[in-house]
Structure formats: C-alpha cells, structure tokens
Amino acid sequence: MAKKAGLGDSSEQKSAVFNKGLNKDSDPTFIQEGMWTNARNVVNNTVEGDMGSISNEASNVLCAIAGATMPLIAQFKYIIGAVHLFSDKWVIYTAGHGPLTGSSGISSPVMSEMGLLETDSCKYRPIVQDACLGFDKHYLISGASREKEDCSWQVYWADGLNPDRTLNIGDPKTWPASNATWYLNLTPSPTYNTWVNSF
C-alpha cells in the first residue's frame, strides 16, 4: 500500500524570525509569520548585524557640539554632513543660519564650519570657520577621504550648491593637542583662526 501524501515525519519547525515588518493596521487574522504588531524602540537587526531578529534600538548620547564657537549672528546651527577619516575620526560640516526673517520665517546662511570629531574621546575641534565656505542647510554634504603619501589626510566633498571641493587637513601627528583651545583672532582679519595651548 502506498504511503499517503503528507503523512510520515511532518514535524513543523517554527522559528521567531521577524523579517516582514511592523503591522499595526490589519486585523490579527491577517498577521503573517515574520510580522510583529507592537514594539517600542525596536529594530529588526542586532548590534552585530544579524538580520531577522528583533532587538532594542541603539541609543546615543550628546558627545560634542559642532558650531559652538560660531559668531552670535549664526543663531541656528545645522550639521549637514560628515565624512569618515579613520578609526573614530570624522570631519563634520556645519551650516550656521541667521535669525528668521519675514512672515515665512526663512533664515539665510551666515557662517560655515568644518570640524574634527573624535567619537572615542567625545572631542570636537573646528578646522575651518568661514562664511566663504557657503554651507546651507538645504544642501547636504557627501564626500570621501584618503590618506596621502605624506601621512596627511585629504577630504573631498560636494553639496550640489558650490563646486566640488577638497581640503588637506594635515598629518594627525601635527593636529592640535586635545587640551588646545580654539581662538578666533579678530586681527588681521575675522577669518584668521588659530589654536592656542591651554595650560
């Protein structure tokens, strides 16, 4: 006698794989395997990068403040881009906008800043602060970096508003010490910026 189809070892193995997404609108009878219906602060991957499992969303903490040394005319500061250098080092691009004007509440860009963020030590140091950079919150920056033969780092970026640009930010061995202080020198020009050692 032939075996009946479907009989035999029909043990069903179910696993908790969440790969279909959050569904809050359907009747419970329409929820499929792989969906979840209620979750707060959840992502469908793990810190290790495993997909298809639910874990808590990673939190963050205020590590540093970009644009803190901008002139007071820059009432609103917006981080508009970041380029990774190496390890925990990032170049951060900040657009400083002036006060809101008119009934539409529009603010115009008045200052721009590029800075170095070191995430492991939560330190941020301005590299360049100048209105001539022309950063605007409506034009986000993307870019890349590379180490040159002389151990200095070259950063390349584009924002869709200004021409594509590049800046050599030097050899990490020559960057200001972590205890150095940013000093905006008003002479000989408002764009002459220096670092001074703090004791």
pLDDT at 133 over 60: yes
102 and 141 in a single domain? The answer is yes
pLDDT in tens, 87-120: 999 999 999 999 888 766 788 899 999 999 998 8
pLDDT in tens, 39-70: 777 776 776 667 767 777 777 788 889 999 89
115 and 186 in a single domain? The answer is yes
- What DSSP element (H or E) covers 152? none
Q: Which pLDDT score, from 0 to 100, does residue 153 have?
A: 96
119 and 179 in a single domain? The answer is yes
What is the rounded distance in angstroms from the CA atom of residue 121 to the CA atom of residue 125?
12
104 and 165 in a single domain? The answer is yes
Residue 9 lies in a domain: no
- Among 113, 50, 118, 123, which residue's Cα sits nearest to residue 78? 113
pLDDT at 15 over 80: no
34 and 80 in a single domain? The answer is no
180 and 150 in a single domain? The answer is yes
Provide the domain count of the chain: 2
pLDDT in tens, 141-188: 999 999 999 999 999 999 999 999 999 999 999 887 766 665 554 444
Residue 108 lies in a domain: yes
138 and 181 in a single domain? The answer is yes
Q: Which pLDDT score, from 0 to 100, does residue 136 have?
A: 95
114 and 51 in a single domain? The answer is no
The shares of helix, strand and coil residues in the chain, as percent rounded to the nearest 5, are 5, 40, 55
In DSSP notation, 37-98 reads S--SSEEEE-TT--EEEEEEPPP------TTTTS-TT--EEEEEEEEEEETTEEEEEEEEE-
112 and 164 in a single domain? The answer is yes
42 and 131 in a single domain? The answer is no
- What's the domain range around 84? 76-197
